[in-house]
Amino acid sequence: MSTTLITPVLTKGIGELNLREIAVYREQGGYEQLRRAVVELSPKDVADICNGSNLRGRGGAGFPTGRKWSFLPKDATTRYMVCNCDEAEPGTFKDRMLLEETPHQIIEGILIGAYAIGCDHAYIYIRGEFKRGYEIMRDAVAQARAAGFLGENIFGTGKKLEFTIHRGAGAYICGEETGLLNSLEGKRGEPRLKPPFPAIKGLYGEPTVVNNVETLAYLPSIMKNGPEWFAKVGPERSPGYKVVSISGHVAKPGNYEVPLGTTIRQLIYDCAGGLRPGRSFMGVQPGGGSSACLFEEHLDVSYDFDSVTKAGSMLGSGAMVVFDDTTDFVKASYALIRFFSHESCGQCTPCREGGYWIQKTLERILAGGGVDSDVDVIKSAAHQLTGLNLCALGDSIEPFLASVIARYEDQFRAYIKPGAAAVGVS
Amino acid sequence: MSTQTDATGVHPAAILGSAAGDALAGWSPFARRPGDPFDDLHAQLLPEIERIIAQYEEKRSGLIPLAHLFQDHEGYVSPNALAAIAYHVGETLASVESTISFYTLLFRKPVGKYVIQICRNLSCMLNGADEIMAYAREGLGIAHFETTADGLISYEEVECLAACDRAPCAQVNLEFVYDLTRESVDAMIVAIRAGTYEVKPLVQTAKPGRTWKVEADTGRKSAGALNQSNPNNAGGIGDTSGVQMFDLIVGKVQYESRSNERLVRETQLRPEISGNGHH
C-alpha cells in the first residue's frame, strides 16, 4: 500500500492525540491562527488569504469559498456565519469524524471565517443524530469560551464573537443551506426560493454565509501555511486536500485525506485496500448518494471537482461507495430512491410525487410484479422531474438511477417476466 | 420571562377577576388543569428554557432545542410540551406542531425506553443490512415503527447515519452501534431486556402504543386514490386512479401511456367533461 497519498492535514493527530482537549489542540499550534487573524490582520487580509488558496466548498457543490463570502453586501451591518454540520449524504462520514475527533479545529475555522466576513455571531448546525458529537462540541465551545477565544472580548481586543451550537432533529434536507436556515429559525426545514441567495437574505433575513465543516476546518491550516501551500496542491482550479469517505465493497473502508487530483483507482486500491478477495469491480459512486455511478473506464479519472464532473458525475461531498460483482443495482437504486423519497420535504410536486412513484415502481419490480415498460417509465420519470424543484434534492434522484440503468439494464430486466403488462390498464 | 402570563402577556386571572386569581395562582397558561405535574417539570426547566432562548437572536430559533429538552424529560414531545414551546417561542400551537412533525427524531407519541434505529441506506445495504433488519424484526417480534407490547423497545429503519465505514450500523438511543452481526443483535436485545445494556434507557412518562407515528406518516396515499387500487396506483404523477376515475365518468378510454401529457390531452379533447366535476 502506498502511504504517500494520504496526507493528514485536518486529520493530523486523529487516533493519536485527544484533540478534544483544548490544551492538546493548542500544543499543536491550535488557535494561534485565530489569534493572528483577530489581533494582527484585518478581515480583508483573511478573506484574501482564503481567496488566494482557491479553497472550494467541501459540502457538495464545490463553490469557491472566497467568492461565496464576496457576495455579502458591503454595507450590511449584520452578517452571519453558519457552519453546516448536517452531514447526511449517503456514504459521507467525514464531518462526523471531524466533529467527534477535532472539534477545536472546527471552532477555530468557523471563528476565522466569521472574522473574515465581519460577523459577530456564528452558528454551527449539527445533525440531530450526532448527539455524541453535539456533546463533544458543547464541551469544546465551553473550553474555548473559558480561554477567551469567543464571547465578549476575544483575545482582549474588545471584539465580540458569539457562538451558538444548534442541534437539528432528523431531516436530510436541512443540509441544503436554505433548508438549514429555516430549521435554524425554528421552522420546517423547507428550502427557500432562490434568489435571493443567503448572502443577500439568509438567517433572520440578514446576509449570511453557510459553509461546510470541512471547508471551514481547512482555514487554520491555510492561514498557517499560506494560501500558496494549498493552491499548489492538485489541479489549479480545484486545489488542496480533501477528506474522502470510502465505503461499500472495499477491504478497508474509512476516511482518507488526500490531495485532490489523486485518481479514483488510487483511492480505491491504494487507500481503501481494494476490493475484497476474489471480487471484481462493477462501479463506484464518487460523490455521495446524489452522484452518478462511474465504471471501469473511469478508474483513472483524477479525483477533483472538475474532472469528476467532466466524467459525467460529481465530486459532491467526497463520499465514494464502491460496488463489486455481488451488487444488485436494482436494490442499490431502491435504497437511494427510497432515501430521496423519504427525505423530500414535500414542497415541490415533481420531487415529492416523482420520487415516491419511482420508489413504488422499483418496489414492484423487486417484488417480481414489474412490467416491460417499468424500466422506461422510471427512467422517464426521473428525467422529467429533474430541474423543476426549489433545491437539488429532486434533481439528485436521476443521476445514479440513469447511470446504472444505462450500464446494467439487464439486472433490472432480469426481475421482470417477459411480456408482463400492467394490471388494470387495458 | 414569567409563567404568569399568556402569549399576549396577560395572565388569565387578570381577565377572570381576582376571585379566580387565587384558584389560578401558579397555573401556567399552557397547562391543561391546575396542579398538572407538567407545571413542576416546567418550573424546574425554566432556567434552562430561558438560557436556550437567549442563545438566539430570535426566540423562535429555540423551538427545536426546546422540543429536545422536553423530550429528554418526558420521552416524547407531549401535548403539554407543545403548548409550553408555543408559549415560550411566541408562536401558535399549530405552527409548533407543524414544525415538530417535520423532524423524525422528535416523537409526538410515547416510545420505548430503547429506540433501536438500524441504517437501511446504501453502504449498510451493500454490507448485509437487509438481512440484519429482518433478523432484528424477528428477534423483537415487531415491525418498522413499532414498539414492543411491554413498552421497552421501539424499532425503526432509518437513513444513512454517517458510519458507513462500520456498516451495517445502528443507533440505540442515538449512541452508535457498529459492525452489526446476528450475534451482536441478539446480544443487544438480550442485554436490553435484562437491563444490563450499556446505553442508558430513555425517560418514559407514558405507556407507548403500537406505533409512535401518526397514521399519515406510516403510509402515504395520494388524494383521489380509488378503493380498487392496483399496483399501478403508486400515487402522484404515476397514479392511475385519476385515469380510472376518468374512465368511470366518460367511459372506457384507451391509454398506452400513463403520462401526464396524455391525461391532459385527453381532458382537453372533452372540455364539456373537464368543465364540471360530474356528468
> Is B235 in the A-facing interface, judged by CB distances under 8 Å?
yes
Nearest-CA distance B20 → chain A (Å): 35
Which domains are present in chain A? 22-231 (3.40.50.11540), 241-324 (3.10.20.600), 329-413 (1.20.1440.230)
Q: Does B220 touch chain A (CB under 8 A)?
A: yes
Interval A167-194: pLDDT, tens:
999 999 999 999 999 999 999 999 999 9
Cβ atoms within 10 Å, residue B123: 34
Contacts of A424 in chain B (CB under 8 A): 228, 230-232, 240, 244
In this structure, the strands spanning B170-172 and B114-119 are antiparallel
Q: Does B222 touch chain A (CB under 8 A)?
A: yes
Nearest chain A residue to B65 by CA distance is: A167
Which tens digit of pLDDT belongs to each residue from A75-94? 999 999 999 999 999 999 99
pLDDT at position B26, please?
52
Position B226 confidence tier, pLDDT thresholds 50, 70, 90: very low
**Averaged pLDDT of chain B:** 78
**Subunit contact B236:A353, Cβ cutoff 8 A:** yes
Q: What cell numbers appear for B205 in the block?
A: 412518562
ipTM of predicted complex: 0.95
Q: Give CB contacts under 8 A, 24+ apart, made by A77-80.
A: A78/A206, A78/A207, A79/A117, A79/A118, A79/A119, A79/A206, A79/A207, A79/A208, A79/A209, A80/A119, A80/A121, A80/A122, A80/A123, A80/A202, A80/A203, A80/A204, A80/A206, A80/A207, A80/A208, A80/A209
Contact assignment for B235 to A352 by CB distance below 8 Å: no
pLDDT higher than 90, residue A305: yes
Give A-chain residues touching B244 at CB under 8 angstroms: 424
Q: How many CB pairs under 8 A join A and B?
A: 192
3-state DSSP call for residue B150? coil
Identify from B63, B121, B218 which residue to disrupt to test chain A contact, counting A C-beta atoms within 10 A and taking the largest count: B121
Residue B264 forms contact with A (CB below 8 Å): no
Instruction: Report percent pLDDT > 70 for chain B.
Output: 65
Least CB-CB distance to B55: which of A132, A164, A246? A164
Q: How does pLDDT run across A9-35, given as a tens digit for each residue?
A: 999 999 999 999 999 999 999 999 999
pLDDT digits (tens, 9 = 90+) for A322-381: 999 999 999 999 999 999 999 999 999 999 999 999 999 999 999 999 999 999 999 999
Q: E strands of chain B, at which residues?
A: 114-119, 146-147, 153-158, 170-172, 175-177
Chosen from B53, B122, B169, B261 to mutate, greatest number of chain A CBs within 10 A: B122
Q: What is the DSSP letter of B221?
A: -
Q: Give the mean pLDDT of B142-167.
A: 97
Nearest to B255 among A285, A343, A425 (CB): A425
pLDDT score, position B37? 85
List B residues 15-44 in contact with A (Cβ-Cβ < 8 A).
none
Nearest to A423 by CA among A363, A359, A372, A358: A372
**B276 pLDDT higher than 60:** no
Q: Which of A2-11, A199-208, A300-309, A390-399 has the lowest mean pLDDT?
A: A2-11
> Cα(B274)–Cα(B266) distance, rounded to whole angstroms?
10
Whether B249 shows a pLDDT value over 60: the answer reads: no
pLDDT of residue A4: 74
pLDDT the model gives residue A419: 79
Q: What domains are there in chain B, each with its CATH number?
A: 12-100 (no CATH), 114-194 (3.40.30.10), 221-279 (no CATH)
> B140: which 3 cell numbers?
423483537
- Residue B102 sits at the chain A interface (C-beta within 8 Å): yes
Q: Is A90's CB within 8 Å of B57's CB? A: no
Query: Grid coordinates 457576495 are at which residue?
Result: A71
Q: Is B132 helix (H, G, I), strand (E, B) or coil?
A: helix
What does the pLDDT read at residue A342? 95
Closest CA to A333 of A364, A303, A359, A309: A359
The dihedral sign for the CA sequence A271, A276, A282, A286: negative
Question: Which residue of chain B is at minimal alpha-carbon distance from A344?
Answer: B102
pLDDT at residue B32, rounded to an integer:
57
| Cβ atoms within 10 Å, residue A421 | 10
Q: For residue B102, list chain A residues with Cβ-Cβ distance below 8 A.
A: 171, 188-190, 345
User: For chain A, what is the radius of gyration of the CA atoms?
Assistant: 22
Given B121, B174, B175, which is nearest A335 (Cβ)?
Answer: B121
Tell me the average pLDDT across B99-124. 97
Give the pLDDT confidence score for residue A420 in this predicted structure: 73
Per-residue pLDDT reduced to its tens digit, B68-88? 999 999 999 999 999 999 999
3-state per-residue secondary structure call for chain A: CCCCCCCCCCCCCCCCCCCCCHHHHHHCCCCHHHHHHHHHCCHHHHHHHHHHHCCECCCCCCCEHHHHHHCCCCCCCCCEEEEEECCCCCCCCHHHHHHHHCHHHHHHHHHHHHHHHCCCEEEEEECCCCHHHHHHHHHHHHHHHHCCCCEEEECCCCEEEEEEEEECCCCHHHHCHHHHHHHHCCCCCCCCCCCCCCCCCCHHHCCEEEEEHHHHHHHHHHHHHCHHHHHCCCCCCCCCEEEEEEEECCCCCEEEEEEECEEHHHHHHHHCCCCCCCCCEEEEECCCCCCCCECHHHCCCECCHHHHHHCCCCCCCCEEEEEECCCCHHHHHHHHHHHHHHHCCCCCHHHHHHHHHHHHHHHHHHCCCCCCCHHHHHHHHHHHCCCCCCCHHHHCCHHHHHHHHHHHHHHHHCCCCCCCCCCCCC
Place of cell 433488519: B133
Q: What is the pLDDT of residue B28?
A: 54
Chain mean pLDDT for chain A: 95
B119 CB contacts (<8 Å, ≥6 apart)?
Answer: B129, B157, B158, B159, B160, B161, B163, B167, B168, B169, B170
User: In terms of C-beta density within 10 A (0-12 exposed, 13-18 middle, 19 or more buried), how is residue A376 classed?
Assistant: exposed
Residue A357: CA atoms inside 13 Å, Cβ hemisphere, count? Answer: 30
Contact of A182 with A192, CB cutoff 8 Å: yes
Smallest CA-to-CA distance from A402 within A422, A385, A382 is with A382
User: What is the C-alpha to C-alpha distance for residues B154 and B192, in angstroms, rounded to an integer?
Assistant: 12
Tens of pLDDT, residue by residue over B17-65, are 455 555 555 555 565 566 788 889 999 999 999 999 999 999 999 999 9
Query: What is the three-state SS of B35-72?
Result: CCHHHHHHHHHHHHHHHHHHCCCCHHHHHHHHHHHHHH
Residue A302: pLDDT above 70? Answer: yes
| A131, B105 Cβ separation under 8 angstroms | no
| Conformational region of residue A421, where left means phi above 0, alpha means psi within -120 to 50, and beta covers everything else | beta
Q: Which of B102, B255, B260 is the mutation pick for testing A, counting most A CBs within 10 A?
A: B102
pLDDT at residue A136 greater than cutoff 90: yes
- Lowest mean pLDDT across A113-117, A155-159, A171-175, B1-5: B1-5
**What's the whole-number mean pLDDT along residues A112-137?**
97
- Nearest Cα of chain B lies from the Cα of A97 at a distance, in angstroms, of 9
Nearest by CB to A189, from B102, B106, B175: name it. Answer: B102
Neighbour-count burial of A420, counting CB atoms closer than 10 A to its CB (0-12 exposed, 13-18 middle, 19+ buried): middle
SS3 B30: coil
Tell me what percent of the residues of chain A surpass a pLDDT of 90: 96
Mean pLDDT, rounded, for A251-257: 97
Q: According to the model, what pLDDT value does residue A185 have?
A: 97
Question: What pLDDT shows up at residue B253?
Answer: 39
Nine-digit cell at A286?
464518487
First to last CA, chain A: 60
Task: Output the pLDDT for position B39.
Answer: 86
Mean pLDDT value of segment A215-239: 96
- Residue B61 forms contact with A (CB below 8 Å): yes
Nearest CA in chain A to B117: A129
